[in-house]
Amino acid sequence: MPESKKDYPDNTPEYSVTELSMALKRTVEDTFGYVRLRGEISGFKRTASGHVYLTLKDEKSVLDGIMWKGVAGRLTFRPEDGLEVICTGKLTTYPGRSKYQIVIERMEPAGAGALMALLEERKKKLAAEGLFESSRKKAIPYLPKVIGVVTSPTGAVIRDILHRLSDRFPRHVIVWPVIVQGEGSAEQIAGAIRGFNRLDGKNGIVRPDVLIVARGGGSLEDLWSFNEEVVIRAVADSDIPLISAVGHETDTTLIDYASDLRAPTPTAAAENAVPVRDDLVYTVRDFDSRLNRSTRRMLQDKAQKLDGLSRGLPKPSDMLALGRQRFDDIAERLPRALTLLAERRQMQMEGISRLLRPDLLRKDITGTQEKTDQLFGRMARSAGQNLQQKQIRFDAINRLFESLNYKRVLDRGFAVVRNDKGQAVTLASKIPSGTGLDIEFSDGHVSATATGGPQKKTPRTKKDNDRQGTLL
């Protein structure tokens, strides 16, 4: 303990606040230099520096905790509020706020039961949003040209997939390398899925027809990245059909529910992505052979039916005999019918010509001409009167325009002053000194520059107004 700075009568030592805080800090750290603590996470927050701040609590108490960036980066799961964990570290104090806290050096879920409970809760939440609905799932293309794979570039998974694709049906494969475990893995997996969906072929990389998200087996903690919401939502939002192949056959993660197809293993995912080329070739050849046999058999059947039907048809000469006879009969009657029709039309024309009288036609034409002349005269008189009225109105408007034209005022000795922007100036207070002016007179323009400031009007005295003088 530090020495007392002043002794009171009761010999009680006196400390400064800093001395007491540091003494408490040393005592707490020496006494609780290594503790293993179980509690529920609350108020989880990751700062921009990478450090993590949180609170551990149970039914009755709470304890602040801090996890430095390096420790947080080694976590194999994503801590979040409500998760029960076991933390190992040391207790210390923060003198700046007079509180104690635990510096966490290791964190792990409080058993698989806690992770399973969190997994079940998250599954219910995402299912309630409809992300696992079968209606959202897309069909896997039968023979994709390009396959995108999201996995670790160094593991056995990618080798198994490429080997299986090569055996079944070689296709163009694009690998988006990611880490599949630990801090930041979930964000990389989600980013790879969204990145494949954003490809448009403009940068030389073709957009895949199907995606495979794969990883080998592991514990629940190892596979936890594929249970994160950011990954599930990226899978649900993918426009490209997606096959999940995470873990072994018995491993199930939330990505399996959101994907369009779940494969028990990465190798099975490759098998689901493409057919067997040899089987496809055999099937096509078999179909081709069956099609040729069916076509030949159909043509033979049609030929036999055609022969049978042709034997029941009459001879073409017999079918045309009646038509030929009718044609000869009509051809013989046609000249007589034309002559008869011409005579009938001639008689009708003669009857109509007798009804037409030239004297009546001339009388009708003469009456129509007189009416036309009368109407034309009335129209000419009306047009002249209307034009005269319009001319009177135009002259009146023109006289009014001339009386309002400002140039008539200029003729009486006035002038128009404009500033350098061409705007008319009516007040001297609006003209700063040095402003360029344009003065318009009745016979032209003069440029000027304003000097001095505006001057007030000097009121006229009675003597100035009395210009007549006096007789006395």
Looking at the predicted structure, is the pLDDT value of residue 214 above 90?
A: yes
Looking at the predicted structure, is the pLDDT value of residue 98 above 60?
A: yes
Higher pLDDT, 401 or 126: 126
Looking at the predicted structure, is the pLDDT value of residue 3 above 80?
A: no
Tell me if the domain spanning 144-274 has CATH number 3.40.50.261: yes
Q: What is the pLDDT of residue 169?
A: 92
d(CA 236, CA 234): 5
Report the percentage of the chain scoring pLDDT > 90.
Answer: 31
27-31, 394-398, 448-452, 453-457: least confident range: 453-457
Higher pLDDT, 368 or 464: 368
Looking at the predicted structure, is the pLDDT value of residue 223 above 90?
A: no
What average pLDDT does the chain have?
83
Higher pLDDT, 105 or 221: 105
Q: What is the pLDDT of residue 1?
A: 45
280 Cβ contact partners less than 8 Å away, ≥ 6 residues apart: 143, 169
**Domain 17-110: what homologous superfamily?**
Nucleic acid-binding proteins (2.40.50.140)
Q: What is the pLDDT of residue 355?
A: 67
d(CA 112, CA 354): 122
Q: Which one of 101-115, 185-199, 320-334 scores highest in mean pLDDT?
A: 185-199
pLDDT digits (tens, 9 = 90+) for 378-430: 888 888 888 888 888 888 888 777 777 777 777 777 888 888 877 888 787 77
Looking at the predicted structure, is the pLDDT value of residue 471 above 70?
A: no
Q: What is the pLDDT of residue 41?
A: 87
Mean pLDDT of 75-97: 83
Domain ranges for the chain? 17-110, 144-274, 282-308, 346-392, 409-449
pLDDT digits (tens, 9 = 90+) for 9-36: 567 778 888 888 888 888 888 888 889 8
Mean pLDDT of 45-74: 88
Mean pLDDT of 299-318: 81
Looking at the predicted structure, is the pLDDT value of residue 466 above 60?
A: no
Q: What is the pLDDT of residue 197?
A: 94
pTM comes to 0.47
d(CA 244, CA 181): 16
Looking at the predicted structure, is the pLDDT value of residue 91 above 80?
A: yes
Strand partners, 213: 150, 244
- Please state the three-class secondary structure of the chain as a single string: CCCCCCCCCCCCCCCCHHHHHHHHHHHHHHHCCCEEEEEEEEEEEECCCCCEEEEEECCCCEEEEEECHHHHCCCCCCCCCCCEEEEEEEEEEECCCCEEEEEEEEEEECCHHHHHHHHHHHHHHHHHCCCCCHHHCCCCCCCCCEEEEEECCCCHHHHHHHHHHHHHCCCEEEEEECCCCCCCHHHHHHHHHHHHHHCCCCCCCCCCCEEEEEECCCCCCCCHHHHCHHHHHHHHHCCCCEEEEECCCCCCCHHHHHCCEECCCHHHHHHHHCCCHHHHHHHHHHHHHHHHHHHHHHHHHHHHHHHHHHHCCCCHHHHHHHHHHHHHHHHHHHHHHHHHHHHHHHHHHHHHHHHCCHHHHHHHHHHHHHHHHHHHHHHHHHHHHHHHHHHHHHHHHHHHHHHHCHHHHHCCCCCEEECCCCCECCCHHHCCCCCEEEEEECCEEEEEECCCCCCCCCCCCHHHHCCCCCCC
Please, which pLDDT band fits residue 453 given cuts at 50, 70 and 90?
low
Higher pLDDT, 353 or 31: 31
- The helix-helix angle for 156-168 and 266-273 (nearest 10°) equals 30
Higher pLDDT, 159 or 319: 159
Mean pLDDT of 224-244: 93
Q: What is the pLDDT of residue 160?
A: 92
Q: What is the pLDDT of residue 458?
A: 56
Looking at the predicted structure, is the pLDDT value of residue 348 above 90?
A: no
Looking at the predicted structure, is the pLDDT value of residue 208 above 60?
A: yes
Looking at the predicted structure, is the pLDDT value of residue 4 above 60?
A: no
